[in-house]
A and B are shown apart, each in its own frame.
Chain A
């Protein structure tokens, strides 16, 4: 069954198209990753899907409900952790969990039970009596995510939930989410961190400038773009002319990162490499170091976004 069905969704703020005519189809029981650089339109998409804002155009069905016509019915069935922190400054950690459960109409005993479990799962037991305003950013973020599990839901939206968490808390959260998915939860997960998406997501959509560039599983993405290799060349000294020399080589994209480092992406890396060496020696440009590595997901992401930018 499909959990989220969006067609021709757009949201404009004045002349900015924050979300530009996207189509979305998310299957139940999976983690759907929404990946994009800052300002790509991830948070705006989440606000659309969670009915916080209504689309300028398009149709949206969440869990079989028309989200534009019946937003409240949708909100009853979903959980939302927005990118922005949200907390009651003067409440203690345990009180904020309990009150949040109360707001969702969870019976008092059940609230207490869930709270104890979540305090353990999110490593909050030591700080349960601390007030939210006295917590660190990472602790507050953990409370915010934990709090959402006080109530039942079919679909959970998480907007960059791991920002501010240390690596071990990050890993714990991802594993916690994986377990929840096994029990039938569907998660819509935005991030700009690829390794996270690769670890957690069953499907990944890459978004930039309000448009979805591609949707696929992490493995398929690697297969599709995996033939490509990244060649890195370090020069001994700055040679600004080198880019224009190298850009004559067909079938590759050349970047001069900072005066002395050149990155080349190509699917024909062997051929390109030979030509690079030839051009460099013809022009008496000395190398310090050279390497060719298979492109990782991070690079694929950058490539997809970059290609999109150069098309415009």
Chain B
């Protein structure tokens, strides 16, 4: 077996546990079904391009992006724990290179991200199927979003975990950053209705781009603006990936 596959095997073994599954699968589902329908009396229709969506479909599609972002926390936590519990040094003294380690983390996030996204998409499907407009680009767009989004948020989580020393700091910062991403984005509510400066803030947040792209893919509304968003997301992901890799390469013992 290739060293990267062996490391991915290990990564998945240590990160998949009941707590993680609840956080990753049960929580978003409860959110879609409870919040989605509870808010329906307040929010009947959400304008979306040329059509309008009901709130549960809007929310369910947003949760896919939200879930991809959350799944990348896995990578940050793996790196963080490996440093804290001596496994980073141990692995680096074994038959692996730093490149193996970094790529295995990216692959792990990619897998967890894709699986989470598909799960939510699958379970959310009955909620938004009426509005779905499948085309030959729907699946590629979602896969693009899942992978780019995983790399982007995975890099952010990795950067945080290479920069910090105390574990309180790690949890507080990771939670604050990801909470900001989650709630100041278009995952839960549309940008159109939001007042300034919140609206501007939405577009300073990569999750907004990720969610917009996924929605455009699902509901068949790939506009020029969405294409720009895809380019922004891809560039940002590349830059952050390079930074995260540099920091990981420089970590010393």
Contact = CB atoms under 8 A, between A and B. Distances in A.
A95 interface: yes
Contacts, number: 64
Contacts of A52: 89, 92-93, 253
Contacts of B96: 75
A75 B93 contact: yes
Given A53-B253, A72-B97, A105-B1, A86 B10 contact: no
A75 B96 CA distance: 8
Interface stretch (B80-88, B124-132, B199-207): B80-88
Q: How large is the interface on B (under 10, 10 to 19, 20 to 34, 35 or more residues)?
A: 20 to 34
B95 interface: yes
B14 to A, nearest CB: 5
Contacts of A91: 13-14
B60 interface: no
A297 B92 CA distance: 36
A75 B94 contact: yes
B235 to A, nearest CB: 33
Given A84-B86, A85-B85, A90-B17, A53 B6 contact: no
A99 B10 CA distance: 7
B95 A87 contact: no
B223 interface: no
B95 A84 contact: no
A86 B96 CA distance: 16
B98 to A, nearest CB: 11
A80 interface: yes
A87 B6 contact: no
Given A52-B93, A86-B90, A103 B10 contact: yes
Contacts of B6: 102-103, 105
B81 A89 contact: yes
B95 A104 contact: yes
A191 interface: no
B208 to A, nearest CB: 34
A88 interface: yes
A51 interface: yes
A22 B13 CA distance: 42
Contacts of A180: none
A306 interface: no
A87 B93 CA distance: 14
A82 interface: yes
B93 A88 contact: no
A303 interface: no
**6 shortest interchain CB distances as A-B pairs:** A86-B86, A80-B93, A86-B90, A84-B86, A76-B95, A50-B93
